[in-house]
Chains A and B, each alone.
Chain A
């Protein structure tokens, strides 16, 4: 029997009760969230449960929601159960003042660089990560460029210095 989104949701709710929430179907993919303390427990459960077996980490990334107070930064996991061919999306929200999440590197080797990238872009600290340092940007960089408040454009450029190019000017 194919694994349906309802079955996954049922299994998760049996195990974690009210702790897992915000279930929804987003374009045929199950999506839910959990508190940040539970992220490893949920991942482990999804990994080990005989009926689910979400043992392939497809993707891990971050999102910045400046208006979501208390949970400005989100860590998004995409998991894939290759046996059942089911995918799901799992979100963790953390406050920007203390963006700490347990690392998934113990479970998935693939999470290593993905977490480094997320740290590089958003400054999310993965507790227990073996080598949490910048991966794509230079080590000297002192901000997290994908947070919404930082500009995209290279601020040192002087030849296209007006608001149409995102430098100087008055338009914000």
Chain B
């Protein structure tokens, strides 16, 4: 066992430990650093200790260190500057970089293999026989190269589209026959890859680059029709794709650390994707085919009828004189970046002796844990955040529930209406409290495209407007009381 193998073993262990520690709030931050330390060791170990099959040490130090330094500076600057609300799109961007890296490696390796093969014909007959025997495993190698290229490119293109959708520069887009188009594209990918495999000896560059272009195209059209609010699920899926692409590199170079890191993320990412879908009571298939918005709108339930509004002053009064207020944050809060003013409201109410808690639905904001991160950024005490089960027990004793830009996660149809597309999804049972105030920008249905009967119940009052603006006005009102 060489020193490099020991370093790789160490790095693999830090990845596993890191992920494990990331799963507990107290150790999470250290876990991230542990994994980062392992990665650093693996990178420098490879630079200085790696020997290829023929025993040559790593060369081109200037290029390598140049790339490392440039990448580190750009990466740190972007990651430090980004706003907390833009975290999901950052993850998507960096994920895309990893995918592109895997695709580029495949490209260079393809050229490398083609060059090595072009030398073979000048060999003697005996050596040719040997070369023919060696050609058998090269089909395996070709398969890995093609897989790395396809998965990496799809992950790169898909992540870029997801990034664009999250920051609003790319709109949802689909056309008639999109599904068929995607299937045709996928079939073409498989056929071309098959052609290259069968003719592994001929190294057809044109077919290889067409394959690359089609993979990019597929990545674009794979993500384009999926709704913007579903992007976190897509990013999580693409994250596991990139993991598999990295593992392909592990096969290619017989490199244990790439293999363990890649497969670990591939498996964990897939499970995380499924967990996210489960929390929304949808199948992954359903998310990917984008059937949610379209299909559900057709099954439109009866229009709700009358709702009543509450004015800012009344809202301020009810909350100041309540003994217990529960705040339910949702996507609207994240979009309006209202977390700081929300914390201000909470402090103000606490000073008046009101018990204020937050009820966090697992998929509030469509990104598990997103609300917690946002509220933590605004200095909200960790103890005040209740998970769904806890919150559901406490709603009974609440005087006021204030819903900030959440909709589907409080829709009672999930419990009562078996025809509803969200039927079966666990929800926050806000209607058990004495009064519900709903802040929304308009009466428009939420992401699922269905009416929310909660808004029409006698207990419920609507408070229209942007979450940040409304909260600021409430804070002013309370101060003036």
A binds B: no
